Amino acid sequence: MAAGGTATPEDAPDRTRLVVLVSGTGTNLGALLEAAQDPAWGADVVGVVSDQAAAGALGRARAAGVPTDVVPLDAHADRSAWDQALTQAVLAHEPDLVVLAGFMRLVGPAFLARLGGRVVNTHPALSPSFPGVRAPADALAYGVRVTGATVLLVDEGVDTGAVVAQTAVPVLDDDDVASLHERIKAVERPMLVDVVGRMARHGWSTSPTNPRKVLLP
């Protein structure tokens, strides 16, 4: 069985199929591709989809022999049409698990209706604190002494999904936004690789007493 209780294709019964969504240079994608070289990790990246034709991550995927698709927002009549097209592009790769790795768009209702519950994302803060794209800057402005990184299940909100894992990062007195964000990313990447591997190998569930708490065996 694949992650989340879904059967894998017969030709790869023990490997979870990952599709990764990207918008930028693809450092998290690179870490996932490297991890997939280890048979014990339990997953294969079978497709990479981007909203940006110039995303550097697409080059990483192609160099690794992974099929890629580009679904630009401006090629569609509206966000609903784009969301439908994105959904179909991802489903074409028959994923067991979808990872948003620096994907800078919110997925919509069509996407979540077909893939909800098996989509993970990272956030550079300890959710539910500081949602949105300015999380490190907001943490500095608020004056917190500890922030961090979160892996979460994607829902319809902005960084509001159920928490899968978190790692704390201290805020140093001489931090600026760039230095803080770099230290967050340094813990975010290995945490993502570890969590995705565990989900791939063992599946996941939600707590019977708290549906916002994701349980990893």
**Contact criterion met (CB below 8 Å) for 102 and 27:** yes
Sequential DSSP letters for 74-95: GGSSSHHHHHHHHHHHHHTT--
The tens digit of pLDDT for each residue in 51-100 reads 999 999 999 999 999 999 999 999 999 999 999 999 999 999 999 999 99
Q: Which of 216, 217, 212, 126 is nearest to 166 (CA)?
A: 126
Which one is predicted more confidently, 4 or 20? 20
pTM for this prediction: 0.91
- Coil, strand or helix: which one is 160? coil
The tens digit of pLDDT for each residue in 166-189 reads 999 999 999 999 999 999 999 999
DSSP state for residue 210 in the 8-state scheme: -
Give residue 74's pLDDT: 95
Q: What's the CA gap between 105 and 118, in Å, rounded?
A: 17
Q: Which residues are catalytic?
A: 123
Q: Are strands 68-70 and 146-153 parallel, antiparallel or unpaired?
A: unpaired
The tens digit of pLDDT for each residue in 88-123 reads 999 999 999 999 999 999 999 999 999 999 999 999
Kind and range of the H or E run holding 69: strand 68-70
Give residue 185's pLDDT: 96
Res. 217 pLDDT band, cuts 50 70 90: confident
In the block, which residue shows the tokens 């995705």?
196
Res. 13 pLDDT band, cuts 50 70 90: low
* Mean pLDDT, the chain, whole residue set: 93
